[in-house]
Amino acid sequence: MQTRDVIVIGSSMGGIEALSALAAQLPADLPASVLVVQHMSEASPGVLSNILDRKGPLRAVTAEDGMALERGRIYVAPAGRHMLATPRGIRVVFGPRENRSRPAIDPLFRTAAVHYRSRVVGVVLTGLLSDGAAGLHAVARCGGAAVVQSPDDAACPDMPRHALERAPRAESVTLAQMGALLDRLAREPAPPAPEVPEALAIEVRLTERAMWIDEGNEMPGNPTSFTCPDCSGAIKEIEEDGQRRYRCRVGHAYSPDDLLVEKTRALEETLWMAMQTLEERADMLAAMARDDRGRGWARNAAGYEARARETRVHVDRLRELLTSLAR
């Protein structure tokens, strides 16, 4: 009898505390492999597996490429790499960032959904923005069980809320209830799995190819006027059950929230650079005016001074615009 023996968990801000509490609840005889993605800096020393190893009875390790999936073990994605679940075991790849993160939650959830289908339990814990929402939707579409930390119980409710929007039939429970729920789900027979959607299967193939560009334009979706914040490539819009997300041909992927954050960041950088350039232009015009006045060329000096004043007006307008972005 096939059971739900692949548990994939995603968390972000507040996640280390949540994962520690969850690891303490999981029983020593849990009949499932547990794969964890926690958003972290690429400079992270990679101590999360040590923390989880001490918190509960299950052995926790930092995932390495090619590891076999063993029941009763926790695998933690390493800093700066995506962790994927494949029929050959774990893959650890240096792929394009998704939702501005590497490791990201969606690549793990998508690959697990396509390859393990109804054997998967997907879990979204606390975090900002919406990584994990599209991945949990993929888990549910392929027959897996979806579990979400109750937004009211989460340190940061954004990720749980977005996950429930994409997977409305998910079981939403408090962290204190989650260990028992996962233990029960892991012992249940896996139900018959539906067919994997073709678009999702294509996306997983591209994800597993990591740094390979989608030369054949395989990725389904509609062209947009947007460019990728990471590589400036063209972006496609992928629509799933009325929800949109975005992906470029290299593989950078974004939820609408994450794309908006990146576009706002790029706009801010552009405005700061423009303001600095205008400040330098005003200073140069003022210096040229001083030089001409020293030479007795009052008319030329007045012209430079007028242009300097006009430039500083533009600087003030840009400063106001930058201030408004922070509201």
Pairing of strands 222-227, 234-240: antiparallel
Spatial contact of 5 and 33, defined as CB atoms under 8 Å apart:
yes
The answer to whether 12 is a known catalytic residue is yes
Handedness of CA 231, 161, 50, 119 (dihedral sign): negative
Instruction: Indicate which residue of 5, 39, 82, 258 is catalytic.
Output: 39
Cis, peptide link before residue 103, omega less than 30° from 0: yes
User: In which residue are the tokens 């408090």 written?
Assistant: 174
The answer to whether 314 is a known catalytic residue is no
Residue of 141, 129, 68 lying closest to 254 (CA atoms): 129
CB atoms within 10 A of CB 264: 13
The full DSSP string for 100-127 is TBSS-HHHHHHHHHHHHGGGEEEEE-S-
Instruction: Report d(CA 177, CA 30) in Å as an integer.
Output: 16
Instruction: Indicate which residue of 11, 12, 33, 118 is catalytic.
Output: 12
Amino acid at 271: L
The answer to whether 39 is a known catalytic residue is yes
Spatial contact of 103 and 90, defined as CB atoms under 8 Å apart:
no
Instruction: Report d(CA 226, CA 183) in Å as an integer.
Output: 44
Q: Please, where are the H alpha helices in 149-238?
A: 158-166, 175-187, 198-208
Phi and psi (nearest 5°) for 67? -60, 140
Q: Please, where are the H alpha helices in the chain?
A: 15-25, 48-55, 105-116, 133-141, 158-166, 175-187, 198-208, 256-294, 298-325
Instruction: Indicate which residue of 131, 158, 258, 292 is catalytic.
Output: 131
Residues annotated catalytic, as ranges:
12, 39, 131
